A and B are shown apart, each in its own frame.
Chain A
Amino acid sequence: AQKITQTQPGMFVQEKEAVTLDCTYDTSDQSYGLFWYKQPSSGEMIFLIYQGSYDEQNATEGRYSLNFQKARKSANLVISASQLGDSAMYFCAMREGDTGRRALTFGSGTRLQVQP
């Protein structure tokens, strides 16, 4: 079974509008973390936002917020007021457990295109 599922291969949004990128996850661990990364066409991986499984509040970082619904095992990224520079691939990733292994499991990504 996929640990991280991103069901939207591609999304379009008009500039200045908000957009939600979906992410569902699968884990039996009680302690885990969820991350979103942005990958522009230049290829680098840029960290956007983090949500811990025990965090009661949804994470926010500027125009990015994470809609965390623990019971549904979803961690959707919301980008408010989209900008042309937001056009990129977006990856949801999960770190499981409390062990020393802090590696991430990534979803397959969503390509976002912001239209003027």
Chain B
Amino acid sequence: GAVVSQHPSWVICKSGTSVKIECRSLDFQATTMFWYRQFPKQSLMLMATSNEGSKATYEQGVEKDKFLINHASLTLSTLTVTSAHPEDSSFYICSARDQRGMQFFGPGTRLTVL
């Protein structure tokens, strides 16, 4: 089956620092990847859609300058949380869309900002 990995699985950082999260499709090429945010006991909220080689499309209310997304290859997308603050603490999940249009999710990254 299609496998999506994320790195790191968890990260703790100080307020004001930037954090980069990687999302990789391991056994398929993904022209489109997605970044979601999930708060405890809540649903997944789409932050942005990332297309290989082009700028990401952000959902309404998501600050593009704060959440920088780069999709440099067909197997890698990165999310950088810039100048992180405690309110950015959350579970960040990526997904990758295969050629059949199915989305496969990564295991998530737990970000804690102190």
- Report if A and B associate in a common complex: no
Q: Which residues of A contact B (CB under 8 A)?
A: none
